[in-house]
Amino acid sequence: MAASNLPSLNLIADAFKNDPRIAEARRLVSEAIADHSSNVKGVRKANPVYQADYEAMLERLTAVRGVPPIWPYLASGMGSGPFVELADGSVKLDFICGIGVHGCGHLDETMVQAGIDAALEDTVMQGNLQQNPASLQMGERLVELACQSGAKLEHCLLSTSGAMANENALKIAFHNKTPADRIIAFDNAFAGRTLATAALTDKASYRSGLPVTINVDYLPFRDPHQPERSQRWAVDELHRLLNRFPGKHAAFWAEPIAGEGGYYEGTHDFFRAICEPLRQNNIPIIFDEVQSFSRTSQPFTFQHLGLDDFADIVTVGKITQVCATLYGKSFNPTGPILSQTFTGSSASIATGLVMLEQLESTGCFGPDGANLIRGQHFQRGLQQLAQKHPKLLSGPFGTGMMVAFTPGDGSFEQAKELMGIMYEVGLLGFVCGANPTRIRFLPPPVITTIEHIDLALQLLDQSLEILEKKMA
Ligand SMILES: Cc1ncc(COP(=O)(O)O)c(C=O)c1O
């Protein structure tokens, strides 16, 4: 575990961590990882030998879960960089990574080592009553990153899911603005799957049969095809809401780049036009960075967009391995409304710290950082594919390491069909949005190379050719 900024105490734990047998075990694990992961060299078809067992496992998975999995993915536990081996013997180029979770790719040695250190700690899970130093370090590091360009987010609460991080953000905002009982969000919002975050999420089917727990008013998001008009609509609608429900809004909640909603980006000007009236009306602003964290020119996309002044409460998750809610001093609740038995596993906190360090040290950030450079390369490649297959691909959309395109006519059916063909060919991307449905990629920022992106483009080209033939 990285213990750099902690006092060196001569504890029994230190003697244990420094025991030469542990160093030797770690060395052997490193050696074994290198030996075996080097066999995962590139995309490979499934091996028919495993087919029957694989199908049986998928059937059992369906039976125990009650619904079939979204796609027939059961990983073997082995991988290398962006490549993952499945239990059917196939190897896929994983450019979706469980929706943006594998920032360092599969079976990254630094992550495994951090996980081993965490596994040697006394507790599997950390929480409100049992925190090890890594919890403190994670909170401090996230606060440091969040405040680095001026935002005032002095506090951090860890949690086990993005939905819980948002649930805590909403609680903090409601508590701060009591008795206000409404939230403003954008059309297409996705905040998670708890009762409150499902209410915030702008997708009726995700709320089917659920009670309405919070009142949400929606604004239209920025439309890249008519940026000025859509901004005017959004601002006008905001003013209408503020007049209709004076003093009733506890927060405005937004993803700086809409993720599940279809990779629609905000801009500095667009957000500023919305956030200024919110400030004047003393309505707290929550930025959900569960999907966008670490994928643009800065750790936080609110920083990339120059919105530090408006970030009152911010949530992160996915790539950080452990999720978190960050908030300013003035939002610190005056009652005991926040607590969790589990805030994260020791392994998720330790690997999260390594992830943050790797994102910084491998040059992902900055105006000329790897995220933007590789993202531009990816987008240029998608533009070329759009020229080659004009009826089957339009776009690209997104920024940095959040990239998407619209397949065919934008219908869910066509996107799903292409996603399935890509899966068979060996490229993992996933649908998002509705009307149009898009296919998105979340490549692992730390280890993705231009060669990996070129391979993804090649596999996509192949997939489009298959789709073209099917449609002919
Ligand atoms: C923007 C955003 N917020 C919240 C969530 C919910 O996170 P989790 O699935 O970890 O609860 C997601 C998940 O996709 C997300 O994309």
Sequence ranges of the domains in the chain = 39-100+371-472, 120-361
**Does ligand 1 have an atom closer than 6 angstroms to the CB of 436?**
no
Class of domain 39-100+371-472: alpha beta
Q: What is the pLDDT of residue 1?
A: 42
**Which ligand 1 atom is the nearest neighbour of the CA of 318?**
10
Ligand 1 pocket mutation, candidates 197, 291, 314, 432, criterion most atoms within 8 A of CB: 291
Geometric angle at alpha carbon 29, from 24 and 32, rounded to 5°: 125
290 lines ligand 1 (CB under 6 A): yes
Ligand 1 close to Cβ of residue 86 (< 6 A): no
Structure tokens belonging to residue 212: 């309405």
pLDDT of residue 6: 63
C-alpha of residue 291 to centroid of ligand 1, in Å: 7
Domain 120-361: which CATH number of 3.40.50.300, 3.30.420.40, 3.40.640.10, 3.40.47.10: 3.40.640.10
How high is the pLDDT of residue 349?
Answer: 98
Q: Is the minimum distance from the CB of 191 to ligand 1 under 6 angstroms? A: yes
Give the C-alpha distances (Å, rounded to integers) separating 26 from 13, 19, 117, 301, 437: 17, 11, 9, 36, 45
Contacts of 257 (CB under 8 A, 6+ apart): 263, 264, 265, 266, 291, 292, 295, 296, 301, 398, 399, 402
Residue 311 confidence (pLDDT): 98
Place of tokens 């990339």: 304
**Is 234:222 a contact under the CB 8 Å cutoff?**
yes
- Of the candidates 311, 294, 222, 272, the residue with the CA atom closest to the CA atom of residue 447: 294
User: Measured from the CA of 289, which atom of ligand 1 is nearest?
Assistant: 1
Cβ of 198 closer than 6 Å to ligand 1, yes or no, is no
Q: What is the pLDDT of residue 472?
A: 87
Q: Quick check: CB of 317 below 6 Å from ligand 1?
A: yes
What is the whole-number distance in angstroms between the Cα of residue 404 and the centre of ligand 1? 18
194 CA: nearest ligand 1 atom:
11
- 77 phi and psi, to 5 degrees? 100, -5
> Does the beta carbon of 418 lie inside 6 Å of ligand 1?
no
**Cα of 290 from ligand 1 centre, angstroms:** 6
Q: What is the pLDDT of residue 10?
A: 87
Does 169 contact ligand 1 (Cβ within 6 A)?
A: no
- φ/ψ (deg, to 5) at 83: -95, 135
Residue nearest to atom 3 of ligand 1 (CA): 191
Give the model's pLDDT for residue 249: 98
| Cβ of 261 below 6 Å from ligand 1 | no
pTM above 0.85, yes or no: yes
Q: Is the CB of 288 under 6 A from ligand 1?
A: yes
Cα–Cα distance measured from residue 209 to residue 234, given in angstroms and rounded to the nearest whole number = 30
Residue-level pLDDT at 2 = 43
Q: Which residues contact 343 (CB under 8 A, 6 or more apart)?
A: 126, 127, 128, 131, 135, 157, 158, 159, 160, 322
**C-beta of 114 in contact with ligand 1 (< 6 A):** no
Q: How far apart are CA 340 and CA 354, in angstroms?
A: 24
Tokens of 65: 């879960």
pLDDT beneath 70, residues of the chain: 1-9
Residue nearest to atom 7 of ligand 1 (CA): 162
pLDDT attached to residue 8: 65
Task: Tell me how far the alpha carbon of residue 26 lies from the centroid of ligand 1, in angstroms.
Answer: 34
